[in-house]
Chain A
């Protein structure tokens, strides 16, 4: 019943044989009305916070999780104009885009997505190899168009998490145009 308030501290003081030297700090703590148990509680709570970190990260990245399916997304001037779940065994699908006097045809086939034709000045997009891995992209700068392979997300929304090539474990991929974030 008459246990001293800072029993742990005082025991240590007695062991050290220097009770006077630590009395001042004990008194300061007493002014703050902080008990040993409060200190322990704060430490425990910090540990709980640390343990919760993976869960928080998981929640934060929830929209980045994918179902394993791949989607081909066509973005023109920042707007998604075409989405198609990519399955190499499906029959080829053509998407024709025609707007503001510009036109392009994108094909999603066994090899991936490719630009079949474009009225752009440089034809770089037409001459780009088909893309089939998450993060790969074909860019048509004159038409402000990007064809990109993305992971199909759980909630069906476009997963524009930056995947700069075949693996997310690198910072960039030399020679690949990919790495385009959300419009």
Chain B
């Protein structure tokens, strides 16, 4: 009878009910907690992998989610480390150093990876009319961005170095995969393109491992694959170059690279003056224009990386007219006086912070 069953709750039944109650609470907390966990914090899950390591003279962080995330993350790290060993201008054993040592003499046979990035860098140099130039290696060295020098190079030194600066001095031979620097003062430096190029190759690599989403941060060069688990875009902030404790705004990023160049991150201080690490390949001096930072939003990482440098060198007016003729990327620029300029194709992608006023420019 019912009444008797209510009245006679034996110990076993009581234990079962207590266990059920505790389980219900535990399961519900776990389920709700799991649902509330954002992608970035779910490091312990089997299909999420995070790697962070030093490479290319900076810090790399890769966060992946997908079927073979762990295997993919290992492969991604190995690829970047391989690129680092091949392309470091400071490592005497790298292929770039071998090419530089042989400047003005014979051609050097290189791996396909090195050959392809050099070709890509030349393509971007031509595209930007030389505002991005991968041959500024000697200038970087003279200005002390490669070793501790606390003086400004002499005019004579700069003239000698400038004579070697031109992407046209780099001869590539497709047939035997070799590279030759025509001028003895030409020095390759892929620092302005290597990380962006690496993100493009990483995207190809990760596609083979069925990676659903990824947040790749190569020393501040951000590349996102896919969208967040909840279907929203990744929020990539752009630092205000005039007050690095603030953001200019947020780029809502899906399947794009967001790459920023600005003199505020790395600079040289000589006799009280701060010089940007961005070299102007035309003047031979650190870039000094009316721009404080340039951020590129592009599906093409190598192009984005090269363009962020090139547009900084061009200055605001030239940069705007360049974009008007080549509007296949997005750009956010902050001038030295704090004005914000943005290409019209980012109107719904870039949201300025604190209702900052933005001047949008349209394509030609």
Contact = CB atoms under 8 A, between A and B. Distances in A.
- Are chains A and B native binding partners rather than an unrelated pairing? yes
Interface of A: 1, 3, 5, 41-42, 45-46, 48-50, 52-53, 56-57, 60, 117, 121-124, 126-129, 132-133, 136-137, 139, 141-142, 144, 146, 162, 164-167, 169-177, 179-181
B58 interface: yes
A170 B24 contact: no
A139 B250 CA distance: 24
A175 B239 contact: yes
Contacts of A133: 244-245
A169 B31 CA distance: 24
Nearest to B50: A181
Contacts of A41: 21
Nearest to B38: A171
B146 A174 contact: no
A50 B293 CA distance: 46
A177 B59 contact: yes
Contact of A42 (B3, B24, B36, B235): B24
A2 to B, nearest CB: 8
A174 B220 contact: yes
B54 A175 contact: no
A132 B246 CA distance: 12
Interface string B215-234: 10101111010001000001
A144 B260 contact: no
Contact of B235 (A56, A124, A171, A176): A171
Using C-beta atoms within 8 Å of the partner chain, give the interface range for chain B.
35 or more
A176 B221 CA distance: 8
Tell me the dominant secondary structure on chain A's binding face.
Answer: loop
Nearest to A127: B266
A53 B25 contact: no
Contacts of A122: 57, 90, 145-146
A159 B327 CA distance: 43
Contacts, number: 167
Contact of A52 (B25, B54, B237, B258): B25
Contact of A128 (B147, B238, B262, B266): B266
Given A139-B219, A170-B236, A175-B220, A45 B25 contact: yes
B58 A141 contact: yes
Nearest to A130: B244
A126 B148 contact: yes
A173 B295 CA distance: 11
Contacts of B29: 49, 52-53, 56
A177 B26 CA distance: 40
Nearest to A175: B260
Q: Which of B29, B40, B145 has the most CB of A within 10 A?
A: B29
A173 B247 CA distance: 9
Given A136-B244, A173-B236, A181-B52, 4 more contacts: A50-B28, A141-B56, A173-B237, A174-B220
B266 A124 contact: yes
A53 B57 CA distance: 42
Nearest to A54: B36
A45 B295 contact: no
A124 B244 CA distance: 18
B101 interface: no
A29 B52 CA distance: 53
Given A45-B21, A173-B220, A173-B239, A57 B266 contact: no
A130 B215 CA distance: 26
Contacts of B2: 3, 5
Contacts of B58: 124, 139, 141, 177
Nearest to B259: A174
Contacts of A52: 25, 29
Nearest to A129: B264
Contacts of B247: 165-167, 170, 173
A-B pairs with the 9 shortest C-beta distances? A49-B28, A175-B260, A45-B24, A170-B237, A174-B260, A141-B54, A46-B28, A170-B235, A174-B258
A177 B59 CA distance: 6
B262 A175 contact: yes
Contact of A177 (B3, B27, B147, B220): B220
Given A49-B29, A141-B55, A171 B215 contact: yes
Interface string B9-44: 000000000001100111111011100100010000
Contacts of B144: 123
Given A41-B21, A127-B277, A170-B237, A175 B295 contact: yes
A129 B29 CA distance: 45
B261 interface: yes
A57 B36 CA distance: 9
B64 interface: no
B28 A171 contact: no
B35 to A, nearest CB: 9
Contacts of A173: 220, 222, 236-239, 247
Contacts of B90: 121-122
